[in-house]
Amino acid sequence: MVMDVIVGLVPLAPLAGFLLIGLLNKQLRPWLASLVACGSVLISFLLSIVLFFGMGEQQSFTFTAFEWIAAGDFAVSFSFLVDPLSILMMLIITGVGFLIHVYSTGYMKGDEGYNRFFAYLNLFIFFMLLLVMGANYLLMFVGWEGVGLCSYLLIGFWFKNTEYNNAAKKAFIMNRIGDVGLILGVIMILIHFGSLSYPEVFAQAGDIDSGVITAITLLLFVGAIGKSAQIPLYTWLPDAMAGPTPVSALIHAATMVTAGIYMIARNNLLYTLAPLALDIVAVVGVATALFAATIAILQNDIKKVLAYSTVSQLGLMFLALGVGAYTTGIFHMTTHAFFKALLFLGAGSVIHAMSGDQDIRNMGGLRKYLPITFATFLIGTLAIGGLPPFAGFFSKDEILASTFVNSPVLWIVALVASLLTAFYMFRLFFLTFSGQSRASEEVKGHLHESPTSMTFPLIALAILSAIGGFIGIPSVFGGGHALNNFLAPVFAASHEVAGAHHLDHSTELILMGVVVGLTLITIYFAYNLYVKKGSVPAPESAERTGLVRLIYNKYYVDELYEKVVTQPLNFLSRVTDTVVERLMIDQLVNGTGKLVTWGGRTLRLIQTGNTGFYVFAMVISIIILFVVKTLI
């Protein structure tokens, strides 16, 4: 009973925060708004911890708040599922979310939409919690759409700038394109399984034809492609950097984009029963990982590099899921949440210090001005590079190991992507923090370390990035892989069907060594290029040719979409407007009005006012009445 209340309160607290701040927007002082916002997320975090420890023997339970839809045969209840996967997600969302809320109090200080920002952040937390806690597809979908909405609101937060609005629209629309697949998948689930709640669907999964399951899983994956920015629906994520940096950290690094990962992990049984879909997931994931990594090595905006890095890392997560290593995918998602959020917040700190400039060609030498940011950013970079003993090493290594078991080709591609990751991240780090400052005198005058509200989350996340990997120490090092044991009940059914692949320890160690060695070489190469030689990327107007030009312009994907999708749609819309709307529908509707007016104008001519005419009309009417009377 107490557990029920706790489960209900977890999403309720941020919702209450949103309503309070949102409705009393103008009356609240900023400090009060941020207090309410941070407080509500903190409450959710603490309650999630209680749930984590209070689960005890039970592996999962469902709490139904109320019967939501009851229409004939179709019934959906508003119920929350609490099991290891959802608890883990809750902890990440509320924990990292709380740190980002605290960070925002410093970052957004003085902004005229301060209260609105916190309201939207709280709303986002609420919807994300709905997404991961929902016990049926419909509630998950509500959360799915809700986070898309909040993403739109927050990307276009500084709405007076049209560019930002366009970026927000792009994000939302691309999400929606993916959502078509998701909805179709959910509808197919309803048709074939007869129910939308997880336990019922998974119980029947074995009896359904595998072609149907493949179709369903592919459609669900389309939704994940949109939400988690895989090829071909990834272009919204770099543009989404138009939003404030805490937004990029929270939504586009740690939580929203991981919704796709969560969904596939949740539906692991279905995916295991459709090996074709899993293969497609793996291929798409690794292709995206490589593709985005290549783009990132030439980007010069600090946030764009991190954005492409996110796309790439998500690709790696999908690769992990695609080879059947579900726990690994979740593991990497967790560690990625830590260090990516850290990197983004650090970038925000840098931008804050550089008075809004985001171009790394103008940075450099920030080490002595921003020591805490420097240190935490270094930890983050080491983590994402995959160097032991930081968090990223354990998770990424596990991905590579699992991929190697499945297919060496994929392993090689993933390896290249990882090496590129290390390269561009250290490129970013060196260009930003090392050497001499390339900033103008005016900007140099303002360089200062961020306030405590901003550095405290940085430190907290750095600690997590450093030790976070230890929840998944693999058996090769003698660890018990706590995460694996924790999440075992969630993926038990899949492992029964597919059987677990295991790598023998010696191969694993060899692979590990190879990877770490190559990574160190790459880092040294980057160090050489950017610190020793001090080379700086060319300015915007420089001549670029061939492959460099192609990659620098992000393979012209945006332009391609513009030509192939946007322009035909605009044309179609114009045609529909002029032909269907104006010539047909308008004529029809206006015609009705004109008909009435014309009718009135014609009928009034009967009223001539002439008495003789009236008598005449009377006589004619009498005649007609007589005729009618005798004929009928």
Residue type, 91: L
Query: Closer to other proteins at the Cβ: 159 or 626?
Result: 626
Helix axes 408-433, 391-406, angle to 10 degrees: 160
Range in contact with other proteins (rule: CB under 8 A) among 124-132, 366-374, 522-530, 621-629 = 621-629
Question: How does DSSP assign 275-330, residue by residue?
Answer: HHHHHHHHHHHHHHHHHHHHHHTT--BHHHHHHHHHHHHHHHHHHHHHTT-HHHHH
| Number of Cβ within a 10 Å radius of residue 563 | 11
Phi, psi of 62 (to 5 degrees): -115, 135
- State the minimum distance, in angstroms, from the CB of residue 597 to other proteins: 14
Cβ(189)–Cβ(201) below 8 Å? yes
**Per-residue x/- mask for other proteins, residues 236 to 275, rule CB under 8 A?**
----------------------------------------
- Cβ nearer to other proteins, comparing 520 with 622: 622
**Cβ at position 591, least distance to other proteins in Å:** 24
- If the CB atoms of residues 556 and 626 are measured against other proteins, the closer one turns out to be 626
Interface region with other proteins, contact rule CB under 8 A, candidates 119-127, 227-235, 445-453, 609-617: 609-617
Task: Please select the residue that binds other proteins; options are 543, 588, 630, 632, rule is CB under 8 A.
Answer: 630
Candidate list 72, 356, 478, 612; residue touching other proteins; CB under 8 A: 612
Residue 594 CB, nearest distance to other proteins (Å)?
A: 19
Q: Which of 56, 72, 478, 609 binds other proteins (CB under 8 A)?
A: 609
Residues 6 or more apart from 469 whose CB is under 8 A from it?
335, 389, 390, 391, 392, 393, 394, 395
Cβ proximity to other proteins: between 72 and 609 the closer is: 609
CB of 599 to other proteins, least distance (A): 14
Per-residue tokens: 435? 């050497």
Kindly state the smallest distance separating residue 613's Cβ from other proteins, in Å. 9
Nearer to other proteins (CB atom), residue 70 or residue 617:
617
Identify the residue among 26, 593, 610, 632 touching other proteins (CB under 8 A): 610
Question: Is the C-alpha dihedral spanning 588, 590, 596, 598 positive or negative?
Answer: negative
347 dihedral zone (left: phi>0; alpha: psi -120 to 50; beta): alpha
Q: How far is the CB of 611 from other proteins (least distance, A)?
A: 5
Looking at the Cβ atoms of 589 and 617, the one nearer to other proteins is 617
Nearer to other proteins, 26 or 629 (CB): 629
355: DSSP letter: T
Burial class (CB in 10 A: 0-12, 13-18, 19+), 546: exposed
Identified binder of other proteins from the candidate list 2, 542, 547, 605, rule CB under 8 A: 605
Query: Which residue type occupies 553?
Result: N
| Binding footprint of other proteins, residue count (CB under 8 A) | 18
Rounded CA separation 261/277 (Å) = 14
Q: At what angle do helices 30-54 and 114-133 cross, to 10 degrees?
A: 20
In the complex, what is the shortest distance from the CB of residue 25 to other proteins, in angstroms, rounded to a whole number? 57
Q: How far is the CB of 153 from other proteins (least distance, A)?
A: 58
CA 193/CA 200 separation, integer angstroms: 8
Indicate the residue among 580 and 623 with the shorter CB distance to other proteins.
623
Backbone angles phi, psi at 475, to 5 degrees: -65, -20
Nearer to other proteins, 533 or 604 (CB): 604
| Residue 620 C-beta: closest distance to other proteins, Å | 6
The token pair at 585 is: 């529908």
Nearer to other proteins, 521 or 623 (CB): 623
For residue 483, give every residue at least 6 positions away whose Cβ sits within 8 Å of its Cβ, in sequence order, or none.
327, 330, 331, 334, 471, 472
Minimum distance of other proteins from residue 166's CB (angstroms)? 56
Which parts of 545-604 interact with other proteins (CB under 8 A)? 604
- Among the listed residues 58, 210, 535, 608, the single contact to other proteins using CB under 8 A: 608
Q: Write out the two tokens for 344.
A: 């983004």
Which residue in the set 26, 543, 607, 632 belongs to the binding site for other proteins (CB under 8 A)? 607
- What is the full DSSP assignment across 57-104? T---EEEEEEEEEEETTEEEEEEEEESHHHHHHHHHHHHHHHHHHHHH
Residues that bind other proteins (CB under 8 A): 604-605, 607-612, 615-616, 619-620, 622-623, 626-627, 629-630
